[in-house]
Structure 1
Amino acid sequence: MSSTNEGSPEGFGPGGSQSALRSANEARVLEALRSRGALTQAELARRTSLAPSTVSKIVHTLLEAGVVDMETDKQGRRGQLVALSSSAGLVAGIDMGRDHVHVALADLAHQVVAEQHRTLPHGHSLTKGLGAADDILTSLLDGLGQPRTRVISACLSIPAPVDADGSISASTLMPGWNGVNLASSAEEVLGLPVLVENDANLGAVGEATWGAGRDIRNLVYLKMANGIGAGLILNGEIFRGATGSAGELGHTTVVESGAMCQCGNRGCLETVASSAHVIDLLAPTRGRMTIPRIVELAREGDPGCRRVLGDTGRVAGLAVANLCNIVNPQLLIVGGELSAAEELLLDPMRQSVRLHGIPGAVRSLEIVRAELGARAHVLGAVAHALANVTPEALTATS
């Protein structure tokens, strides 16, 4: 293939605008660096399908503009690494839970430079939640000696389905956040461009970027905590479905005439496999305990704690098997506080998946614990914000 129009996007053939072609190729290099972090020039050439000579020219131009830096590789790869300049701006990831907010700031070289977690009243309002995020952001930036104008992109993680218009579609899941466009509200409070995304989707992005799902193009991230949700990455992209509600595994029916769920349905997976349900099952004989204490006792051999965690894995495995029969992922990553039970939860889940899934869909499926722990969602928000930094924003801050 000739390098003259190699990798040309539609509309830029041999007779097209050379300046437009250069801009398009530059954008491809920047996209690779935004999504993957530091790469050698050889890796950039492979990921962008551009000739090494083309990549070299683009890197030289970006170096002169101060958009990228060269750094020494610490992982044994040959050649220097190219990374977006740490001085070219910051991005913010904001994980808004039902009882907490966690904010992380990262530079464009994929390095988290500051973060803070704060507990909030359960069921807090939008005003209180965004106000706390704003306070934390101010504190982190002051600590870094940076103005807010250095933050060029932000992403807000929410534990509920997010519609295409940026609002929450399942209002009962976060009742204090109803009836508003979240992106607009967050932008107004924070004074930043803000993306809004479901927390399980961002858990998947975080694990795919920095955790157990690196270089896996088809994976599911299963969050198991007080809420249960699944983030799907299919063919390397977040799969949201037609209206943004794909992956609401916690609200699939597993007991037709079961307990009422907060979503308004009966017998949802969340009613029989959530953290709250695990705690409630053990309360009559063990008293009310936290999930870490239940996991600790289970590891020490407590039969009741072991049984409840095993049953939780088995019933979750039924829902997972049904999902695998449809999307056939390569990897299932289990996160959320219940994932701390590790094999006490995961081994029964694997058995259930093998029992209920069709062999072709689950034979090669790996089920592993998330590597990022409680930071998966905020780091996923950081990664999503990084992936949506525009070339114009990069050059404007350089």
Structure 2
Amino acid sequence: MRPPDAPVLPSYGTTGNERLVLAALRGGAVLSRAELSATTGLPKTTVTGIANRLLQRGMVVEHTADSGRQHRGRGRPASGLTLADTGGLVAALCFSHTTIRAAAVGWDGTFAASRTSDIGKDRDQQRVLDRGLRLLAEAFAETGSTPEQADLAVVGVPAAFEQGVGAVFDQLPDAARTAVPELAKLFGWFRSDPVPIVTERLGIPTTAENYANLAALGEATAGAGRGMDDIIYIKLVEGVGAGLILGGRLHRGARGLAGELAHVQVLPDGRSCLCGSRGCLAATYGGFVESIGRSAYPEPLTFADMRELATAGDVGTRRIMADLGRGFGRALADVCVMLSPEAIIVDGMLGAAAEPFLAGMRDAIDRRMPNVLAQSLQLLPGVLGERADMLGAVAIARTGQLPAATSTR
């Protein structure tokens, strides 16, 4: 169902001058390059270059001289630019370690239709991918179309993911994986690049992206990070990860692996991890909530339980989440000194449990960062919840921030 408060995505990922041009075209304006120059104050040559880039990326369209624009003066009237029609759809197929989400999402961020399913205990990548594609077909059928009619398919991958390769941290021999069986069961299954299969099945341009990166883009474009150029997004509820938005763009790093917070070492002599190191944040805190819950509550806890308990004001839950926040804050403090982001945005799926988590994180960061940096750093809960990664898929499509390995079939 289409939510009533579906956000309209801004021109995220563009330069400051490009934003000026796009802002001038809002409200259905049709302006020539000369008019855009006069409106924005930018030189005509600059506007021409910007217009060419925006046309190539599909963010604006050109109206010919006879398209109804009023013309005054001599000579042939100039063509005009207007914002592109946002009537198309993006096929968003987003996997976490526990859930499949499929949606037909408009280029303006509205959800035409969506489907959600628990993965359960199935850890066969091909079967789970087939299930996701069936959910995607069901969502598009509700709109009266098929995924093959979408402009772009975006697959969210729950792993340290390298384009064209797959999950690079989950390739250890079986003998090594037995050292961390619970992590291998949870994380070590989405191991190859899904782009070739989805491209073959749908026959449309397809790209795959780490799910924390998608959620970071979602919050940056349509959520808590709107208007910010430098943020760190923390994925927590359905896996541990981070997405980095630096200088107004998604930062993937040299191999596309930037933001792998799960594999930051927090205990030098800690437990083995699937990445081959020890004491990683995922190995240390991956089962934090469940392990604490077993000792403090009659039944093992999930994050869904934590949300409910936090909403009810449960003191034990607040302490657990504050401790977890301190652990993450210690891991992130040095990162924030190096990058000096405007904000850390935490997974909106935490719900009411985000408040004590952020309080614990603030405590750790204030202790470990210089005051001048800590005071300027905002700690914010995400506002998009489970829609964050799917809106990130739309941001990928709208801004042209496609990975090099995107298929163009």
TM-score by length of 1: 0.75
Give the deviation of 1:166 after TM superposition. Answer: 4.6
In the alignment, structure 1 residue 39 sits paired with structure 2 residue 39: no
Give the deviation of 1:273 after TM superposition. Answer: 3.5
Question: In structure 2, what residue type is equivalent to 1:284?
Answer: S
Aligned mate of 1:331, from 343, 351, 355 = 343
- Output the CA distance in 2 between the equivalents of 1:371 and 1:293: 19
Question: In structure 1, what residue type is equivalent to 2:368?
Answer: H
Distance change in 2, residues 1:189/1:124 (3 Å): farther
8 Å CA contact 1:318–1:356 kept in 2: the answer is yes
Give the deviation of 1:302 after TM superposition. Answer: 4.0
- Output the CA distance in 1 between the equivalents of 2:327 and 2:384: 24
Aligned length: 344
Question: 1:266 aligns to what?
Answer: 278
Question: In structure 2, what residue type is equivalent to 1:176?
Answer: W
Question: 1:154 aligns to what?
Answer: 153
Question: 1:85 aligns to what?
Answer: 85
Question: 2:295 aligns to what?
Answer: 284
For structure 1, the 5+ residue unaligned runs are: 1-26, 68-80, 391-398
Question: 2:129 aligns to what?
Answer: 130
Aligned mate of 2:226, from 214, 224, 233 = 214
8 Å CA contact 1:321–1:353 kept in 2: the answer is yes
Distance change in 2, residues 1:50/1:296 (3 Å): farther
Q: What secondary structure sits across from 1:156 in the alignment?
A: strand
Distance change in 2, residues 1:229/1:382 (3 Å): same
- Output the CA distance in 2 between the equivalents of 1:367 and 1:267: 25
- Output the CA distance in 1 between the equivalents of 2:401 and 2:162: 22
8 Å CA contact 1:161–1:198 kept in 2: the answer is yes
- Output the CA distance in 2 between the equivalents of 1:86 and 1:284: 51
- Output the CA distance in 2 between the equivalents of 1:141 and 1:241: 34
Give matches, 1:1-16, under 5 Å.
none
Question: 2:354 aligns to what?
Answer: 342
Distance change in 2, residues 1:364/1:62 (3 Å): same
Q: What secondary structure sits across from 1:104 in the alignment?
A: strand
In the alignment, structure 1 residue 245 sits paired with structure 2 residue 257: yes
Question: 1:7 aligns to what?
Answer: none
Q: What are the superposed Cα offsets for residues 287-318 of structure 1, whole Å, 9 maximum, x if unpaired? A: 21232323433454544322211110111111
Question: 1:104 aligns to what?
Answer: 103
In the alignment, structure 1 residue 120 sits paired with structure 2 residue 119: yes
Q: What are the superposed Cα offsets for residues 102-144 of structure 1, whole Å, 9 maximum, x if unpaired? A: 1121233433211111111345222112211221222122221
Q: What are the superposed Cα offsets for residues 343-372 of structure 1, whole Å, 9 maximum, x if unpaired? A: 211111111111112334333000000010
- Output the CA distance in 2 between the equivalents of 1:247 and 1:323: 10
8 Å CA contact 1:32–1:44 kept in 2: the answer is no
Question: 1:370 aligns to what?
Answer: 382
Question: In structure 1, what residue type is equivalent to 2:252?
Answer: R
RMSD: 3.7
In the alignment, structure 1 residue 311 sits paired with structure 2 residue 310: no
Distance change in 2, residues 1:50/1:129 (3 Å): farther
Greater mean alpha carbon deviation, residues 293-302 or residues 261-270: 293-302
Greater mean alpha carbon deviation, residues 202-211 or residues 278-287: 278-287
8 Å CA contact 1:123–1:176 kept in 2: the answer is no
For structure 2, the 5+ residue unaligned runs are: 1-13, 68-80, 171-183, 403-409
8 Å CA contact 1:92–1:385 kept in 2: the answer is no
Aligned mate of 1:191, from 193, 203, 216 = 203
TM-score by length of 2: 0.73
- Output the CA distance in 1 between the equivalents of 2:60 and 2:398: 22
In the alignment, structure 1 residue 175 sits paired with structure 2 residue 188: yes
Q: What secondary structure sits across from 2:161 in the alignment?
A: coil
Question: In structure 1, what residue type is equivalent to 2:189?
Answer: G
Distance change in 2, residues 1:375/1:50 (3 Å): farther
